[in-house]
Amino acid sequence: MENIAPISWKKSSKPHLFCPGCGHGIVLKQLGYAFDEMKIARDVTFGIDIGCSLLAWNFFDADTIQTHHGRTTSVMVGYKMAKPERIALAYMGDGGGYAIGLQALLHAAYRNNPVTVILVNNENYAMTGGQSSPTTPVGMVTSTSPNGKRAEFGKGLHGPELISEIAAPNAYIARVSISNPIQLKITLKKAIENQVKNKVFSFVEVLSICPTNWKTNAKESFEILREAEKLYPIKEFTKEKEVEK
Ligand SMILES: Cc1ncc(C[n+]2csc(CCOP(=O)(O)OP(=O)(O)O)c2C)c(N)n1
Ligand code: SF4
């Protein structure tokens, strides 16, 4: 059978550890294709958060740094200062990026640090058992909202919208979904390219699925993803800023 895996994937790595049907695999596959097409696997340093994103530690034939929960942006900002010739990627979940790591993320955007942050939004703290996160939509049942999340606890944090308010006009900020893998790959490439060419900040939120904690089958998972796409619009935020100028 033809091997359709990205060549930047480690050929000798063990089978992946994600649950069956997890959205992380789709994100990482497209990221692998982006590495291949841009021929950058040797130039990338892949920073991963604590959370299910850490299960990507041996995916790529690329240098990888395992950081603490919520500290990936800060670690990769520091790393990039020390090694400006490297392409610094920070990979995390919505808990790591929008809760414990939010101040680091916002300040990296505010300072326009030349790193690329990829945040996989599955609307819960997946690795620790599906607790409610800043992006959990109203009504979603989680282990900390057994009767459904109440609106008084927030209607869902809109990260790219928040970040684009304080980011520099030349920062690249976008939201995509695993439901459109080609658009996902193109967006990841644009974000990485902005770091390499313009030496500025870039941020991509990827709407994803977590069948294990959502307790859903494939069809139900994608129904929830469609709802997420309505709550969190798929768009690029950079051009809008340029139009406003
Ligand atoms: C400083 C610190 N606080 C809390 C934890 C416990 N912890 C580990 S993973 C995690 C949640 C991860 O959720 P998210 O960042 O959304 O990623 P996901 O697992 O959904 O991909 C938490 C709270 C930790 N490891 N370190
Ligand atoms: S718990 Fe959810 S996010 Fe984590 S590996 Fe399983 S399906 Fe993926």
Nearest CA to ligand 1 atom 4: 69
Within a domain: residue 5? no
Q: Which ligand is nearest to the CA of 124?
A: 1
CA separation for the pair 112, 122 (Å, rounded): 26
**17 belongs to a structural domain:** no
205 φ, ψ (degrees, to nearest 5) = -95, 130
Residue 71 pLDDT: 98
Helices 24-38 and 181-193 sit at what angle, rounded to 10 degrees? 50
- Rounded-to-integer distance, Cα 118 and Cα 174, Å: 10
Query: Which residue has its alpha carbon closest to ligand 2 atom 3?
Result: 210
11 lies in a domain? Answer: no
Judge whether 81 lies within some domain.
yes
The pLDDT score that the predictor gives to residue 1 is 42
Query: Does 75 fall in a domain?
Result: yes
Judge whether 103 lies within some domain: yes
Is any ligand 2 atom within 6 A of the Cβ of residue 209? no
The residue whose CA is least distant from atom 16 of ligand 1 is: 95
Instruction: Identify which of 149, 102, 101 has the alpha carbon closest to the alpha carbon of residue 123.
Output: 149
In this prediction the pTM is: 0.96
Which pLDDT belongs to residue 245? 45
Position 19 in a domain: no
Q: Give the domain extent around 67.
A: 24-244
Q: Which of 5, 1, 2, 30 is nearest to 15 (CA)?
A: 5
Domain count, the chain: 1
Q: Which residues line ligand 1 (CB under 6 A)?
A: 49-53, 68-69, 92-96, 100, 120, 122, 124-128, 133
Q: How far is the CA of 183 from the centre of ligand 2 (A)?
A: 22
Residue 234 belongs to a domain: yes
Q: Given the CA of residue 214, which atom of ligand 2 is nearest to it? A: 2
Query: What pLDDT is recorded for position 125?
Result: 98
CA of 241 to the centre of ligand 2 (A): 34
100 closest CA partner among 82, 136, 73: 73
CATH number of domain containing 148: 3.40.50.970
pLDDT by 10s per residue, the chain, length 245: 445 788 888 777 677 889 999 999 999 999 999 999 999 999 999 999 999 999 998 889 899 999 999 999 999 999 999 999 999 999 999 999 999 999 999 999 999 999 999 999 999 999 999 999 999 999 999 999 999 999 999 999 999 999 999 999 999 999 999 999 999 999 999 999 999 999 999 999 999 999 999 999 999 999 999 999 999 999 999 755 555 54
Q: Which pLDDT value is given to residue 242?
A: 52
Report helix angle 72-82 to 102-111, nearest 10.
40
